[in-house]
A and B are shown apart, each in its own frame.
Chain A
Amino acid sequence: MSIAQAGLIAVLFSVGTFLVLHRSLTRIILGIGLLGNAVNLLILTSGSVPDGVPILGTGSDPADFTDPVPQALVLTAIVIGLAIVAFLLSMAYRSWTIDGNDVVEDDLSDRRIAAEPDVDEDFGEET
């Protein structure tokens, strides 16, 4: 792994994490996209010789070969990433058609329970 690759992965990871921590679903989706790219690059570097080529099509020294397995993994991960982003976008769109924004909201029922001081009393009465 070269420094440039490592730096790029680090930047993508940090920017992605920053975006995922937002409340707006659109930013979360962008963050997930960036994180996905970061992970894909990480997979790609995991078995590779920098500048090396996969086995097929060359007659050069085996030490220069790049392991082709990570490339297959990345291919799969990209496809999965596409499916997930598409799904999330459709959710954001749905959320937008329902209430005009794409903010990820709190668990309302949980809030209600927390705000209700007399939950235990209810329970006491009934037993």
Chain B
Amino acid sequence: MSPRSATPRSTILSLTVSGLTPVLVLVAVFVTFRGHNAPGGGFAGGLIVGIVLVLRYLTDGTEAVRRLPVDPIVVIGAGLLLAVATGAVPLLFGSSFLESAIWKVNLPLIGEVKIVSSALFDLGVFTLVAGVVAAILVALAEADNEARRGETGDPEDGGPLDADPLDDDDRAEADR
């Protein structure tokens, strides 16, 4: 059961989480982009961001998701769009679906940087997974608020609860 915002929360956990949040997000981004040649990738990175969200949910309760700047559904859609579109764009250039293009760029100070179009795909997956976790939390928070308001809950709210995992699956298909 998700925490009720009425219950007292651990100050230690709160402080640790707020301190850790930027670090974890950074780690998530790192893991995502390192995934091209090493263990990691968009899925793992997205899950780390998901963990951050879950931790915030544990410390701040339903407030954490009410403050989200964008609707998670839109985030899911944007992630999926980015991932599938990255796969589909090569078709326009006569290559095959999901084929990856590689550019090498020389940047001052940093040296040669390899830019791979599949990094965009990973970014899409990253966004998608993070959005899915956020959507699940939003659904939990809604159910939680509803439970606290009393037993009047309309069964219609079941939708968001069950619909989320769909997108993991879409990406699974493309991830191979």
Contact = CB atoms under 8 A, between A and B. Distances in A.
A68 B175 CA distance: 15
A83 B169 contact: yes
Interface stretch (B88-96, B109-117, B157-165): B157-165
Interface string B141-174: 0010001000001010010011011111101110
A90 interface: yes
A80 interface: yes
The bracket for how many chain B residues form the interface is: 20 to 34
A83 B165 contact: yes
Interface residues of A, number: 17
A94 B143 CA distance: 9
A72 B162 contact: no
B161 A94 contact: yes
Contacts of B175: 75-76, 79
Interface in B14-53: 43
Contacts of A10: none
A91 interface: yes
Contact of B168 (A86, A91, A94, A98): A86
A11 interface: no
B136 interface: yes
Contact of B139 (A72, A83, A90): A90
A94 B158 CA distance: 7
A20 B123 CA distance: 36
B176 interface: yes
A86 B176 contact: no
A94 B173 CA distance: 27
B67 to A, nearest CB: 23
Interface string B129-141: 0000000100110
A95 to B, nearest CB: 11
A82 B44 CA distance: 12
B43 to A, nearest CB: 6
B162 A91 contact: yes
> 4 smallest A-B Cβ distances: which pairs?
A83-B168, A83-B165, A79-B172, A87-B165
19 contacts: A72-B176, A73-B176, A76-B175, A76-B176, A79-B175, A80-B168, A83-B167, A83-B168, A83-B169, A86-B164, A86-B165, A86-B168, A90-B136, A90-B162, A93-B140, A93-B143, A94-B162, A97-B143, A97-B153
Given A90-B136, A93-B143, 8 more contacts: A79-B169, A79-B175, A80-B169, A80-B172, A86-B136, A87-B164, A90-B164, A97-B147
